[in-house]
Every structure is written in C-alpha cells, then in structure tokens.
Chain A
C-alpha cells in the first residue's frame, strides 16, 4: 500500500507520545496506542467522549505530526452526499455552454466537456481520496448525520473508491488516516463502529489537566495551574447540565490570567464563571455554598505544601454535597 513517502507513519507508541507532546497535545499510552494502531492497521479511529475533551484536536495534531494535510468533513443534521463528496459547478458549466454557442459542436460533445473533471467541485471526501499524499481525514461529529449518510460513509470507508456516473470510478491512491469523532447525541450503527478502532476519551485526570494548562496557558504559574485543575476536578462532580471540558478550562485560565490572578478566590471565580458554565442554572449551582469550602480546601492544601492530589477526593465529596 503506497510508498513510505506517501503514507508515512509516526513510529511506535513512545514516538507517538513524543510527537503529540511536541505538537502541544498531552496524551497517555491509551490514546497513543489507538493512534498507532489506526495508522499501522489502516483503520479509521472512532473517538468518542464528552464535549471539549480533545477529540477533534487529535486529528489536527496527527496531521501536523505526520506533516500532511488535514481535510475536514464537518457533519451536521441534513448533511447530504453531494456536499460531502462532489458537486457539479453549474455556474461554470453554464458559462461554458454560452461560450460554445454557435461553435458547431454536437450536443453530445458539449455534454462530455461540461461533465468532466475540470467542472467538478471536490468536496472533502473526494479531496481526501484524490490527494497525492495520504491526508488526515477528519469526519467531525459524525453522530449528527442520519443513518442514510452513515451508511454511505461506511461504504466509502470500506471501499475507498467513488463512482461518478459521468466520469467513472475513482480509487484512492493512498488510504487516508481517518479520525471520526462523536458526542453520542445519537448512537452510531454497529456496522460503522466495527469498521473502526475505538477510543473513549474521558474528562482529564488532575495530572493530565494540570499538564495541559501548564502547556497551553501562557504565563500561568504552577500554583495557579494546580488550583485550576483541582477546581475543575471538583466542579465536574457538581450536578450540572453541561459539564465543562478542557476547552472551558483553557478559556477560564486565560480569563484569570487577564485579570492578573495568581490564585482562586470567590470574587475571581464569580467574575469569570461564564467561561466554565454556560447555563444560568449551572452558574447558580457553582456559586453555591460548596464553593467557599472547596476554595478553603485548595488553599489549605497548598499552604501546607501538600500535593493537591491528596485533597481531590475531599473536593469531589464537597461538590456532590
């Protein structure tokens, strides 16, 4: 399948961990193994998990690490085959017809001209298949499409070829690296699942989140980063409508830095609450009496020079009430 150049690999699991870290993505062996096997076995990787835990980002860093292009098919309700695959450029076709008026060519000849490759608009799937070098194909939020489109995707991901009636069958030169993500708003079919390797990403552990904040938030002190990670660990145990993901953690951290905060207190949290909690009701819950106790536990642990990790269970219990 393809030569080394056209479909490079990233090396073994350790090498992948390093490559991802280099691109700013904090992974563990589970994630790295899934990526590694997806590359080695030429199988799509289905990544599921809650909102904002780093599913989409995986495809982006893979592309950067592999030094190849990222082609993204963003899914949404009502996405149809043409938008995903190809469309005819009707405007261009009409222009051509006008230009050829009076040229004396037969209708059949004209038709052949305007239904040929130059008049094709390549949408993401066709782009991915015809790319000269295996790209990373990101099929983002695949749970939003309907069963019919899902069945079509399954066909493409199995055969790696596409038939355009006017042109013929186009076969992939190099099988793309495929990443599918899903938030599980709808269950995917068993068939599509079985076509893929599977990775579930959970909310990050304290250590992982700390590493992400330290890595991605310019100007953050270790002390504040630890407080942020501990706070989120607790906050995710609250009874919320929308649990904050890593995206929210990063927004919030940046806001705290902008306010020149080097530690958490009630006032800082209240002023920046909107970054973490999008629902009014959640903000009310977060501002509740547990907050003072949680902040006290965090402050106390750090004052005594203990590792904050030792207090995580207590924080979680506070949040659960």
Chain B
C-alpha cells in the first residue's frame, strides 16, 4: 500500500487513511487542511511538521493518542530520504491545483469511505429488539449496542424538536402581537419579555454491576449516554458491595472500552451485592447531587444481601430529595417474575417508575419516563 517514491502529498494522504483505519475522525477534508498547513510551516523543521499535522488531522483527545502512536513509525522510515525534496515539491504542487480536489485526495475518499451501517443486516430488527440482553453472543454485542444507541439518538432528536417548537412559538407571539397592534391599534397588552427557559434534568445513574447485572448495566449506560445531550448531565456510579463514581471515566466517546477497563479496575465488579449500603454510601458522599431537577435511575434486580432496613431508609431519603426515582429491574422481563426479593419489596414504595430495561424494546419505552416534566419547578 505504502507508495515507495510518493510525493509528500501522497504520504500525507496515506497517513490520513491509516489514522482513519485506526478509528480517527479524519477524512479528505482533514487531509486537505493538513496540506494547507504544511504550506504555512517550515516542513524541514521536524517538530513544526509534526505539530502542523497534529493540529489538523485529529479532532478528539482520543484521536491525539492514536496520532501520537502512529506518527513516528510512519514518518521515521521515509523522512531522511525524501523530505528535502518533498519540502520543495509540496507547495508547487499545491499551487497548481486546489488541494481538496487533488486526485490523490479523491482516491482517498473513494478508497476509505466504506459505509458505516447502523444496524447489522443479518438479524431482523424486531427480533433484536425483543431479545434479552443477556442472551446475545459475545460477537453480537456490538450490533445490539449500536441499535441501543440509535434508539437513544432518535429519542433525543424528538425531544430537541419538541423544545424547539416550544421556544419558537413564544418568539412568534411577540411579533404577532406587534403586528396585530399596528393593524388594529388599541391598548397594549401586557407583554412578557422573559423567554421561557427550557431546563434540563440531571440524571444520576446507579448501576448494579454485581453478578449477572453487569450486562444490563452496560447497555443502560450506553443508552443513557447517547441521550445525554438531550436530557442533561449524567452522573454515573456503579455498585456491588460498595459504590464507585465513574462519571469521569465514562467521559469518553468509546464507552465500551471505558467499561471494559472499569470492569477490571472497580473492586468487586461482578461480586456480591449490598444495595442498601451502596445507596447509603452514595447519599453520604454525593448526596449533594440530588435536587428537584434530578432523576435517579437505579438498575438492579433488588437482590440485597445486607440489612433491608438500610436499603429502605436510603430509598426514603433519595425519594425525598430527588425529582423522580426510576428503578429498572431486568428480571421484570422474565415471564412469571414477581419482584418479591425482600430488597425489592422494601424499595418499591419509593419508586416512581418501575420498568424492566432488559432488552432494546424496553429501553425504547423509557422515553416517556425520562422525558416527562418533573414534579417540581
């Protein structure tokens, strides 16, 4: 693939493709920028050359890391022999033709723009949506994760359209008022100048990652994060026998990688469960996150091995301080299941919405519970 005696332009094009192949958000437009940048810096200065590419090709922190990993191996080999000549080559070539239209850039586009399909072709959507998350094979997980994210995006779009309508109608009213007045005269109506603020919620995610709950929590996290822009901020915690805050770790576009790392580093991931103690820990350390705009989302089967009273008291307090409490119990999705664990029974009186979240369809149904206006202002 690597051209033996290419011009600098061709090498940059090829480097861009490799970045892209490694998952970097980078296409012909970036390569064109990089080539323009190289005309503006002294390309014989190695560091200037590197920084010019680094400012133009990647656009995310994660991509900078990939860039750094690939830069030396790619450019080391070819620099000494070709660079001096290339340095002279590039500008003249660039002046001759608009770069974005350069044949090599076009080839890049054709070669690398393989379609990114949202949903796999081998399994009909309806079946995917109904299947319990825990029954997917390892190699199907990516596909179902994409479906979950696609559902979330659709919901998010719907919400933002709704907000937009609410805002627009207000602005139009003001204009209409004036126009009507111009035409018909008369006393001025009382006019409100403040625009209605559309306030978003905050979501606190408390995910049970003990034993078999792990897989459901993973999907819910991906779902909620894909919604996040439309819903509001998300604060995330995982718990089994104790609680860990993971908001910072999850602040990354590659959630799956982050989740894999976490499952190795969080103590007792996939261990036993102490729900009450974990919720108490949450209240003591992070209780300040709760207010009348906060929706608390708990994912757990309610299988608590601790004191039931600790759980009851913690739930009581959460319910009193948050706007809404949603408990997602994936076992609800199994036919014939009754939420009869002692822990679940203790918690239920403090729960506003009780749902299953065991498959993609049930996540879809969360739209209403999450999007509903909050009780208090």
Q: CB within 8 Å of B: which residues of A?
A: 12-13, 29-30, 33-34, 36-38, 40-41, 43, 46, 48, 77-78, 80, 82-83, 88, 90, 93-94, 97, 101, 107, 110-111, 114, 146-148, 184-187, 190, 193-194, 196-200, 241, 281
Contact = CB atoms under 8 A, between A and B. Distances in A.
B233 A185 contact: yes
Given A83-B195, A88-B174, 7 more contacts: A36-B40, A36-B41, A78-B197, A97-B178, A111-B182, A147-B160, A194-B25
A159 B5 CA distance: 39
Contact of B178 (A40, A93, A281): A93
B179 A111 contact: yes
A13 B41 contact: yes
Contacts of B193: 90
B131 interface: no
B230 A30 contact: no
B164 A148 contact: yes
A208 to B, nearest CB: 17
Contacts, number: 117
A33 B38 CA distance: 11
A13 B30 CA distance: 21
Interface stretch (B6-14, B50-58, B213-221): B50-58
Contacts of B103: none
B198 A148 contact: no
A97 B40 contact: no
A186 B230 CA distance: 10
B36 A41 contact: yes
Interface residues of B, number: 54
Nearest to B65: A200
Nearest to B171: A82
B29 interface: yes
B47 A29 contact: yes
B178 A94 contact: yes
Nearest to B248: A241
Interface in B143-184: 156-157, 160-161, 163-164, 167, 171, 174-175, 178-179, 181-183
Contacts of B156: 147
Per CB-CB distance, the 5 closest pairs between chain A and chain B, nearest first, are: A193-B59, A33-B51, A198-B59, A148-B160, A34-B55
A48 B251 CA distance: 13
B40 A281 contact: no
A44 to B, nearest CB: 11
A199 B55 contact: yes
Contacts of B232: 77
B200 interface: yes
A56 B188 CA distance: 44
A interface secondary structure, majority: helix
Given A90-B174, A194-B59, A33 B182 contact: no
A78 B171 contact: no
Nearest to A144: B233
21 contacts: A29-B51, A30-B54, A33-B52, A34-B55, A37-B56, A40-B40, A88-B174, A88-B175, A90-B178, A97-B178, A97-B181, A97-B182, A148-B161, A148-B163, A184-B61, A186-B233, A193-B25, A194-B29, A198-B58, A241-B245, A281-B285
A178 B166 CA distance: 30
B57 to A, nearest CB: 9
B228 interface: yes
A186 B37 contact: no
Interface of B: 25, 27, 29-30, 33, 36-37, 40-41, 47-48, 51-52, 54-56, 58-61, 64, 156-157, 160-161, 163-164, 167, 171, 174-175, 178-179, 181-183, 185, 188, 191, 193, 195, 197-200, 228-230, 232-233, 245, 251, 253, 285
A197 B163 contact: no
Contacts of B251: 184-185
Q: Which of A13, A83, A184, A196 has the most CB of B within 10 A?
A: A13
A147 B226 CA distance: 12
B61 A48 contact: yes
A14 to B, nearest CB: 10
A212 to B, nearest CB: 21
A163 to B, nearest CB: 15
B182 A110 contact: yes
Given A90-B191, A148-B163, A30 B51 contact: yes
A33 B55 contact: yes
Contacts of B167: 80
Nearest to A202: B61
B56 A186 contact: no
Contacts of B25: 190, 193-194
Given A40-B40, A43-B33, A80 B195 contact: yes
A46 B59 CA distance: 8
A161 to B, nearest CB: 20
Given A43-B33, A78-B199, A147-B230, A37 B61 contact: no
A186 B59 contact: no
A83 B167 CA distance: 12
B55 A197 contact: yes
B164 to A, nearest CB: 6
A198 B199 contact: no
Contacts of A13: 41, 48, 51
Contacts of B61: 48, 184, 200
Contact of A107 (B36, B183, B285): B183
A77 B200 contact: yes
